[in-house]
Structure 1
Amino acid sequence: MTATARRGKWFLKEPRADASARIFLLPYSGCGATMYRQWPSMRDGVEFCAVQLPGRENRMREPAFDSYEQMALALAEALRPYLDVPFGLFGHCSSALAAFETAARLCETGPAPARLFVSSEVAPQDGPYGYFLGLDDEGLSRELAGLLIGMGVQPHPGLIDLTLGVLRHDVDVNKRYVKPDPPVLSCPITSIGWRDDYGVEPRLMDGWSRCGETQTVLFDGGHYEFVGAPDGLLDLLVRGVR
């Protein structure tokens, strides 16, 4: 089987065979895998694999998932060929919920993740939550512009217009995600807060302890700090899967 056949459309490049561990990075609402363009591909033998979801970037013509549970079923199967080494899942804001559902699925079917990393998001039973859930298209456009600038991309109006529909769909998926009694994961969880986060204050993330054994970590920075791949965050992820 060729590398392209194996990879399909879930990765922009084939994960490396020589990785000692892998961390699968789920994209933020409205974004695709290229949002991790500033991240290294590998650190101390641990590979960072940005996941490309349908409905965005080179998969724009494919229908996006209508629920995190639906996404988890498909993503768990797509990742299976690459779960031959210890691995983790990372999600920021709403993608933390998608990562949680994927981790829950893999904990059921095996192999289970070495760790789930959730950043800037309340636990499933405490949502839906987030100031952006109440924003109109104008407000969401401003958020997109700020995120694109943080990614080093010029936020041209045409690009904002193209991405706004993806973000609106993702926001609606988040609004529908109601999980008053979430499963308890067999893998550990690291809950990552950011001191200057105006979207999800770190104190609101305490509920993750109901979802499994949870470690809480607090970093300096705001809601989009993770985009720049800060060393402290990368080191935390690497330690978590080794």
Structure 2
Amino acid sequence: MAGNWLLRRPRTDSVARLFCFPYSGVGASMFSRWPEEIDGIEVCPVQPPGRENRSREPHYGSYERFAADLVEFLRPYLDRPFAFFGHCAGALPAFETALRLAGSGLPAPERLFVSAQVAPHHCPHDRYLDLDEEQLRAEMGNLVLLRGGTPHPVLIDLALEVLHEDLEVNRVYRRPSPVALPGPVTVLEWTEDTEIGLDQMAGWREYARTVEYTALPGGHFEFLSAPPLLMKTLSFL
């Protein structure tokens, strides 16, 4: 198992941890506008291999492999309450990691937060899967702008390489039937999201005994700016 799966080493004085999973084509820096803690809960961005500071490492290949490798890395950091957050395609490796922890007899997340993503047995569902190369390039450029940066052709080319590999994983991922997690799930709907609606996320009800649905104002990328209502929702203690 190579590489460091977290953007920064977790603190030893945090009361709890929120592990945040990036979505297709990007890395942990997508959470750069988030605070380092939320009401004493340390924000821990997850860094998958094949991008940013792990660009020389091979791609993870499947969400199941992603989860297996991440679980081994996370073992020392499961010593206090923790939760997972994943938006769009990032919710799928977050779910698989929670499931892997449960199957390994390791501590489970206090809560799994899934944002703007269909349930695993309704996958694949991703607008990017139907876009051509130029449309994907435009999407990557727009994401850079949304994160406060300036698109650079060379960096966009690198991002597209990662995106294509991520989309291939997403394209073939599907659970044949629901699998229940031991802990609660909170499903986040964005009221102005044109990519996915609340009715499309109804399948998550079958993945835990306790499943809550929370509506937040904003569009599909609103979460990038760490809106206060989202931060309040993620304060799981």
Question: TM tier, shorter chain?
Answer: over 0.9
The SS at the match of 1:22 is: strand
1-structure distance, mates of 2:122, 2:102: 22
Q: Distance in 1 between matches of 2:228 and 2:101?
A: 28
Asked if residue 163 in structure 1 is aligned to residue 159 in structure 2, the reply is yes
**Contact 1:130–1:200 (CA under 8 A) maintained in structure 2:** no
| Contact map agreement 1:116 1:187 (CA 8 A) in 2 | yes
Give the alignment of 1:221-240 within 5 angstroms: 221-238=218-235, 240=236
CA distance in 1, matches of 2:88, 2:35: 21
Alpha-carbon separation, structure 1, partners of 2:181 and 2:38: 27
Displacement of 1:68 in angstroms is 0.4
Question: Segments of 4+ in structure 1 off by > 2 A?
Answer: none
1:214 matched to 2:211? The reply is: yes
Deviation of residue 47 (structure 1)? Answer: 0.4
Question: Counterpart of 1:57?
Answer: 52
Identity of paired residues, percent?
A: 48
**1:147 aligned partner, one-letter code:** L
The count of aligned residue pairs is 234
* Two-structure CA RMSD over aligned residues (Å): 1.3
Query: Which letter does structure 2 place at the counterpart of 1:234?
Result: M
Q: How does 1:99-118 map to 2 (within 5 A)?
A: 99-109=94-104, 110-118=106-114
Aligned to 2:190: 194
For residue 149 of structure 1, what is the aligned residue in structure 2?
Answer: 145
2:65 equivalent in structure 1: 70
Output the CA distance in 2 between the equivalents of 1:130 and 1:40: 28
Please state how far the C-alpha of 1:8 moved relative to its aligned partner. 5.3
- The Cα shift of 1:10 comes to 1.6
TM-score by length of 1: 0.94
Aligned to 1:83: 78
| 1:151 alignment partner AA | R
Alignment check: 8 A CA contact 1:39 1:229 kept: yes
**Consecutive unaligned residues in structure 1, runs of 5 or more:** 1-6
Letter in 2 for 1:100: F
Q: Give the Å deviation of 1:77.
A: 1.2
Deviation at 1:80, TM superposition (A): 1.2
The amino acid of 2:168's aligned partner reads D
In structure 1, the residue matched to 2:171 is 175
TM-score (structure 2 length as normaliser): 0.96
8 Å contact from structure 2 (residues 50, 162) kept in 1: yes
Unaligned 5+ residue runs, structure 2? none
